[in-house]
Amino acid sequence: MALLPLLFLALSFFLPLWQVLSQGLKAEGRWTAARLAQLLSDPYVLHLLRFTLKQALLSSLFSLALGFPLGWLLARYDFPGKEAARAFTLVPFVLPPITVALGFILFFGNSGYLNRFLIGLFGLSSPPIKVLYSLWGIVLAHAFYNAPVFARFVSAAWEGLDPGLTEAARTLGARPFSVFLTVTLPQILPAILSAFALVFVFCFLSFAIPLALGGARYATLEVGVYLYARVYLDQGQAAALAILELVIALGLTYLYIRGGGIFTSRGQVGRPQATVKLFSRPRQLFWLPYLFLSVLVFLGPIGAVIADSFTRPWQGQGPTLAWYGMLFSPAQSPFIGGSPLASMALSLEVAGMTAFLALGLGILVCWALRRMRSVLLEALLMAPLAVSSVVLGLALLFAFRRPPLSALASGPWSIVLAHTLIVYPLVVRVIRPLWQGLDPALVEAARTLGAGGFLAFLTVELPLLSRGILVAGAFAFALSMGEMTAVAMLSRPGLVTIPLAIYHFLSARRFGAASAMATILILTTAGAVFLWEYMGRRLLRGQA
Amino acid sequence: MRWILGVFPLLVAGACLGAELVVYTYDSFVSWGPAQAIEEAFEAAHPGVDLVWVAPGDSSEMLARLIGERAAGGTEADVFLGIADVELPRALAQGAFQPYSPESIPNLAHVPAELLFDQTGHVIPFDHGYITFVYDSELLAEELIPQSLEDLTRPELKGKIVLEDPRTSSPGLSFLLWTIAHFGEEGWLDFWRDLFPNVLTVTKGWSEAYDMFLAGEAPIVLSYSTDTAYSYIAEGSLRYRVVTPDGEGYRQIEGMGIVSGTDQPELAHAFLDLVLSKEIQELIPTSQWMFPVSSEAELPEDFARYAVIPGHPVSLPPEYVAEHLEGWLSEWQRLLVGG
């Protein structure tokens, strides 16, 4: 049973991946490390490597700084529109990089809303904020993408804590800050580390954002893989570079899993955490600067894209609803290879099925890992996240050209399966720390009382993991909504997801229509995530 | 060879269901090019034949996909439409195309000889265009409009130019080749050294660069010589103007060819002929925003007025480019990261 998910992964992922990567270890038909050695002596590759690590570290730290307070806010405070805000935190995660870049340019750019406002306010002659087209533009955009990951992980862990512990500490006379430091923080540390590992790997493999907001001067290793694979058509060098990337990304993951285990705490899920009304005490005014900053960073670019979909001139006229009219006019259907409504339906269908399958696969993998504790195995199972997206695209293309997966090559199933492979490691990362934190005595008790392994899982462990499952499902759904690499590789005429439609509109110079489509992606995703969490929380409450 | 097992049932299934002609092209040819008109005309002329466009990526992505699929054992593609002249040697070296028979393509007679960029008889041009600079007349002072390539290096233009990456975009590559053609193999790096301080950013592709330009990030962008015609015809605006420094612009020719080993050679030839017909060629200006290759095609009036063919079109022979490109790109990227 435990071997089932592994077998599936071996056939659909590791085998095709090996076929692509092994080219990097071969030259003229023989095994050799010559290509790797050659790469490590290439000054441009070393420059890319240094820069990639530097921006990933800065980006992860900045994401943590921006995301942790958000998670805290969501876990501990009550405010109007909290559930909507929670659903909205996943929106940055789903936006295609090209839309994020547009949002950043429209908001933070030289002629962006922020600079125009400041110029008008202080009567300046040149834009005061010059954050784009530099390392800091990249860091800011990565934080925009990844701070929500920290927020989600932190709030899920925090909400799962037993309030009895903090209350006990308070009763014993500890001040709130030292309670946080000595009781709360150690318990949510595994979630923070888990998020850090994920975010670091995301930023490490980031491709489009550094290019779009920094430009070619700030290229990452992934750009190198892209160049070898797509521009120089040298699959051997591309594979060698991808191996280098993979080794580093997996190495980081491995280190984290080894180290992370030390911090794993035995969280108990008892009654839910009490929440405090925001701004019910004067010292909570400390939240104001943070809220201001996060509104600027998160809502600014998203708002700019939404505003753009209404204000971008249509035949010299603006503001206008014409871009939305364009989306729904039948004449536009051939432009994007399908109607926008069909794109929405397809995206929702694919994301829904992906969330379902990825949860199933992810839970099975967690379960298998619980039986066979192996750090190496766990790191290996992170591989789809740690693989360069260019190589992943090639591997998937190969995978779907040979049995058994070739049977699914047409229709949305190929995309669903590809997305499942891409997102399940994230499901594992969310659920696994929670599962490790469960007290084995609970299951043992259930088994002592005569429950079988599966029954014990269903009735004891699963309900305790439900918060994590809820979060993981939302992530899986959102990632699938915004995914581009696999879709571009596997799409067939008539199979156009929303991000692909955005991309088509952009290359067709219909920038306003692209913004309108991006607005639809934002609203659809936020709406669907909101519904998923709302239903989930109702269900949880019904159980409790 | 194992791959064939996977593909074979699909091929058999295709043959039973009636003929299908699969054309790989780039996304924008389908999204705003004349693809639909071609499909209608083709299917009307060949009842029972289904013309299928496959276009999930840009030109070089699709070519990489074609080459990759062929290397992996087989491709569904019968025709590839949209190969850039600079990519031709690579595609030919990979044996991606089979030679066409000119007698099966009568409309080829209307294509001027100087546009037939493939001397080996595998690939036929279907449109051509020119890479040059476009400026924002509301943001750029008139005396700063670059009349020559050297003007682009003036200190007043610091941070005012958006370029595309020659490694990932065809306009970017065209500009690199343009500077090499203009300054020679000795001088082009010096020009770029002076140019880089004026470059706000180097984008991956054209869409990103042009979108930045429209958002007012920089007043000068590397783009196409038909942009004024586009913004006039589509939006009634003459704000964005084309300028051809030194009267130059780099010529891009786009070609199409029959994929090696196709099972539909007759249909493939008929397809190429159709794309060269007067009716389809006259759709090129206002759908592709490129110039038609057929001398029969007439240009729309506004297009003829605002689309610019540079006085001195620049191009380098594809074989010469293929031979040196990797070296040029690595020197360029060393300069880019300040090495």
**One-letter-per-residue 3-state SS of chain B:** CHHHHHHHHHHHHHHHCCCEEEEECCHHHHHCCCHHHHHHHHHHHCCCCEEEEECCCCHHHHHHHHHHHHHCCCCCCCEEEEEEHHHHHHHHHCCCEECCCHHHCHHHHHCCHHHCCCCCCCEEEEEEEEEEEEEECCCCCHHHCCCCCHHHHCHHHCCCEEEECCCCCHHHHHHHHHHHHHHHHHHHHHHHHHHHHHEEEEECCHHHHHHHHHCCCCCEEEEECCHHHHHHHHHCCCCEEEECHHHEEEEEEEEEEEECCCCCHHHHHHHHHHHCCHHHHCCHHHHHCCEECCCCCCCCHHHHHHCCCCCEEECCCHHHHHHHHHHHHHHHHHHHCCC
Please say if the pLDDT value at position B226 is more than 90.
yes
Q: Verify whether the Cβ–Cβ distance B30 to A111 is below 8 Å.
A: no
Please indicate, yes or no, if residue A318 is contained in any of the structural domains.
no
Q: Could you tell me which chain A residue has the CA closest to the CA of B214?
A: A511
Residue A67 forms part of a structural domain = yes
How many domains in chain B?
Answer: 2
Contacts of A505 in chain B (CB under 8 A): 31
Q: Give the whole-angstrom CA distance, residue A410 versus residue A400.
A: 9
- Assess whether pLDDT exceeds 60 at residue A269: no
pLDDT band at A493 (very low <50, low <70, confident <90, very high): low
The answer to which of A217-226, A349-358, A369-378, A463-472 has the lowest mean pLDDT is: A369-378
- A238: nearest Cα among A248, A227, A246: A227
Which of chain A's residues have a Cβ under 8 Å away from the Cβ of B35? 334
8 Å CB contact of B32 and A503: no
Is residue A55 within 8 Å of A145, Cβ to Cβ?
A: no
CA distances from A269 to A151, A155, A158, A364 (A): 20, 14, 11, 22
Q: At what angle do helices A413-437 and A340-371 cross, to 10 degrees?
A: 40
| Residue A279 in domain | no
Same domain, B121 and B265: yes
Same structural domain, B180 and B267: no
pLDDT digits (tens, 9 = 90+) for A8-17: 788 878 888 8
- pLDDT > 70? residue B339: no
pLDDT of residue A131: 84
Confidence label for A263 from pLDDT (cuts 50, 70 and 90) = very low
Cβ atoms of B291 and B129 within 8 Å: the answer is yes
Q: What is the pTM of this model?
A: 0.78
Residue B330 and residue B209 share a domain: yes
Q: Residue B37 is part of a domain; what is its CATH number?
A: 3.40.190.10
Distance CA B339, CA B326 (A): 17
Q: Cβ-count burial of A219 within 10 angstroms (0-12 exposed, 13-18 middle, 19+ buried)?
A: buried
A contact test, residue of B5, B23, B31 with most A CBs within 10 A = B31
CB atoms A508 and B31 under 8 Å: yes
* A215: nearest Cα among B159, B194, B149: B159
Residue B219 sits in the same domain as residue B316: yes
Residue B16 is predicted with a pLDDT of 40
Please name the member of B35, B73, B326 whose beta carbon is closest to the beta carbon of A232.
B326
Between helix A185-204 and helix A135-159 the angle, nearest 10°, is: 140
Which distant-in-sequence residues (6+ apart) come within 8 Å of A116 by Cβ?
none
Chain-chain contact of A215 with B67 (C-beta, under 8 angstroms) = no
Q: What is the pLDDT of residue B9?
A: 38
User: Averaged over A385-396, what is the pLDDT?
Assistant: 76
Note whether B333 contacts A44, CB cutoff 8 Å: yes
pLDDT reading at B260 higher than 90: yes
A386 occurs within a structural domain: yes
Q: What is the mean pLDDT of residues A289-296?
A: 88
Tokens of A354: 């992906």
Vertex A537, ends A385 and A349: CA angle to 5°? Answer: 50
Asked if residue B138 and residue B19 are part of one domain, the reply reads no
Return the CATH number at A106.
1.10.3720.10
> Are residues B148 and B118 both part of a single domain?
no
Residues B18 and B103 in one domain: yes
Residue B26 and residue B119 in one domain: yes
- A416 Cα to chain B: minimum distance (Å): 17
Task: With residue A77 as reference, give the H or E element that holds it.
Answer: strand A77-78
Distance from CA of A132 to the nearest CA of B (A): 9
Average pLDDT over residues B81-104: 91
- Whether residue B110 sits in one domain with residue B235: no
d(C-alpha A490, C-alpha A393), whole Å: 8
Average pLDDT of the segment spanning B127-147: 96
In this complex, the residue of B31, B68, B215 whose CB is nearest that of residue A335 is: B31
Range with top average pLDDT, A82-96, A448-462, B10-24, B145-159:
B145-159
Buried b (16+ CB within 10 A) or exposed e, B287-315: bbbbbbbbeebebeeebeebbbebeebbb
Per the DSSP assignment, residues forming a β-bridge with B202 are B163
User: Which residues make Cβ contacts (< 8 Å) with residue B9, sequence separation at least 6?
Assistant: none
Q: By CA distance, what is B93's nearest residue in A?
A: A233
Let me know: does A77 contact A462? Beta carbons within 8 Å: no
Q: Other C-beta atoms within 10 Å of A465: how many?
A: 23
Please report which helix (H) or strand (E) contains residue A532, including its range.
helix A511-543
pLDDT of B8 above 50: no
Q: A492 falls in which pLDDT band (50, 70, 90)?
A: low
The reported pLDDT for the residue numbered A109 is 87
Nearest CA in chain B to A390: B61
Q: Over range A63-71, report the average pLDDT.
A: 94
The model's confidence at residue A222, banded by pLDDT at 50, 70 and 90, is confident
Please tell me whether residues B330 and B193 are part of one structural domain. Answer: yes
Is residue B120 domain-shared with residue B260, that is, in the same domain?
A: yes
Q: For A234, which residue in chain B has the nearest alpha carbon?
A: B64
Say whether B215 and A109 touch across the interface (CB within 8 A).
yes
Give the nearest partner residue to A315 out of B53, B200, B236, using CB atoms: B236
A153 to chain B, closest Cα gap in Å: 33
**Highest mean pLDDT, choosing among A74-88, A457-471, B237-251:** B237-251
pLDDT at residue A157 above 60? Answer: yes
What is the domain count for chain A?
1
Q: Domain range spanning residue A502?
A: 23-273+290-308+336-543
- The CA distance from A276 to A284, in Å, is 10
What is residue A213's predicted lDDT score, i.e. its pLDDT?
81
Task: Give the Å distances, CA to CA, from A90 to A473, B14, B196.
Answer: 12, 42, 38
What pLDDT sits at residue A141? 92
Contact A402 B5 (CB under 8 A): yes
Q: Quote the domain boundaries for residue B51.
A: 2-128+252-306
> pLDDT at position B181, please?
97
**CB-closest option in B3, B208, B212 to A402:** B3
> Does A7 have pLDDT greater than 90?
no
Residue A543: pLDDT over 60: no
Judge if B178 and B115 occupy the same domain: no
| List of chain B residues whose C-beta atoms are within 8 Å of the C-beta of residue A212 | 203-204, 208
Q: Other CB atoms closer than 10 Å to residue B220's CB: what's the count?
A: 25
Angstrom CA distances, B207 to A87, A202, B28, B65, B185, stand at 31, 24, 11, 21, 30
* Band of pLDDT at residue A478, cut at 50, 70 and 90: confident
Cβ atoms A240, A15 nearer than 8 A: no
Examine the pLDDT at B127 and tell me if it is beyond 50: yes
Which among B28, B201, B236 has CB closest to A316? B236
Q: Which residues are bridge partners to B135 per DSSP?
A: B220, B241
How many Cβ contacts (< 8 angstroms) between chains A and B? 153
Q: What is the percent of chain A where pLDDT is above 90? A: 12
Q: Is the pLDDT of residue A375 over 90?
A: no
Q: Show the DSSP H helices in A295-412 as ranges.
A: 300-311, 322-328, 333-336, 340-371, 375-381, 383-386, 389-399
Which among B212, B203, B215 has a CA at the least distance from the CA of B175? Answer: B203
CA distance A117 to B198: 26
Spatial separation of the C-alpha atoms in residues A481 and A346, rounded to whole Å: 10
Inform me whether the pLDDT recorded for A270 exceeds 60. Answer: no
From chain B, the residues in CB contact with A230 under 8 A are 60-61, 64, 168
Mutation site for A-interface testing, chosen from B30, B156, B201, B232 by largest number of A Cβ within 10 Å: B201
Please compute, for residue B258, the number of CA atoms within 13 A of its CA located in the half-sphere on the CB side.
23
pLDDT per position as a tens digit, A159-190: 877 778 788 888 888 888 888 888 888 888 88
In this prediction, the answer to ipTM > 0.90 reads no
Cα separation, A350 vs A527, whole angstroms: 16
Q: Looking at beta carbons, which residues of chain A come within 8 Å of B220? A: none
* A47–B337 CB contact, under 8 Å: yes
